[in-house]
Amino acid sequence: MNITMIGTGYVGLTSGTCFAEVGHHVTCVDINPEKIDMLLKGEIPIYEPGLADLVKSNVDAGRLKFTTSTEEGVKFGDVIFIAVPTPPQPDGSVDLSFIERVAREIAECLTPEIGYRVIVDKSTVPVKTGEKVAQTVRRYAPDGVEFGVVSNPEFLREGCAVDDLLHPDRIVIGSNDDKALSLMQKLYEPFVAPVLVTDINSAELIKHAANSFLALKISYINAVANVCEASNADVEKVAEGIGMDKRIGRAFLNAGLGYGGSCFPKDIKAFIAISEALGQPFGLLKEVERINAEQMDRFLNKIREKLWVFRDKKIALWGLAFKQNTDDVRESVAIKLAKRMLEEGASLAATDPEAIGTAKRFGELTGEITFSEDMYGTLDGADALVIATEWPQFANADLTEIAKRMRTPLVFDGRNLLDPEDAKSAGLEYESIGRAA
Min separation Cβ 277 and ligand UGA, Å = 20
Min separation Cβ 167 and ligand UGA, Å = 13
Does residue 12 belong to the site contacting ligand UGA (CB under 6 A)? no
Does residue 259 belong to the site contacting ligand UGA (CB under 6 A)? yes
**Which window, 71-79, 89-97, 141-149, 255-263, contacts ligand UGA (CB under 6 A)?**
255-263
Does residue 352 belong to the site contacting ligand UGA (CB under 6 A)? no
Does residue 271 belong to the site contacting ligand UGA (CB under 6 A)? no
Give the per-residue contact string, 126-165, with ligand UGA (x = CB under 6 A; - = no). ----------------------------xxxxx-------
Does residue 218 belong to the site contacting ligand UGA (CB under 6 A)? yes
**Which window, 36-44, 96-104, 251-259, 338-346, contacts ligand UGA (CB under 6 A)?**
251-259
Min separation Cβ 348 and ligand UGA, Å = 20
As annotated, the active-site residues are: 263
Does residue 335 belong to the site contacting ligand UGA (CB under 6 A)? no
Q: Which is nearer to ligand UGA, 354 or 390 (CB)?
A: 390
Min separation Cβ 291 and ligand UGA, Å = 11
Does residue 263 belong to the site contacting ligand UGA (CB under 6 A)? yes
Min separation Cβ 117 and ligand UGA, Å = 25
Give the per-residue contact string, 196-215, with ligand UGA (x = CB under 6 A; - = no). ---------------x--x-
> Three-state SS across the chain?
CEEEEECCCHHHHHHHHHHHHCCCEEEEECCCHHHHHHHHCCCCCCCCCCHHHHHHHHHHCCCEEEECCHHHHHHHCCEEEECCCCCECCCCCECCHHHHHHHHHHHHHCCHHHCCEEEEECCCCCCCHHHHHHHHHHHHCCCCCCEEEEECCCCCCCCCHHHHHHCCCCEEEEECCHHHHHHHHHHCCCCCCCEEEECHHHHHHHHHHHHHHHHHHHHHHHHHHHHHHHHCCCHHHHHHHHHCCCCCCCCCCCCCCCCCCCCHHHHHHHHHHHHHHCCCCCHHHHHHHHHHHHHHHHHHHHHHHHHCCCCCCEEEEECCCCCCCCCCCCCCHHHHHHHHHHHCCCEEEEECCCCHHHHHHHCCCCCCEEECCCCCHHHCCCCEEEECCCCHHHHCCCHHHHHHHCCCCEEEECCCCCCHHHHHHCCCEEECCCCCC
Does residue 256 belong to the site contacting ligand UGA (CB under 6 A)? yes
Binding positions for ligand UGA, rule: CB under 6 A:
124, 154-158, 211, 214, 218, 252-254, 256, 258-261, 263-264, 267, 322-323, 390
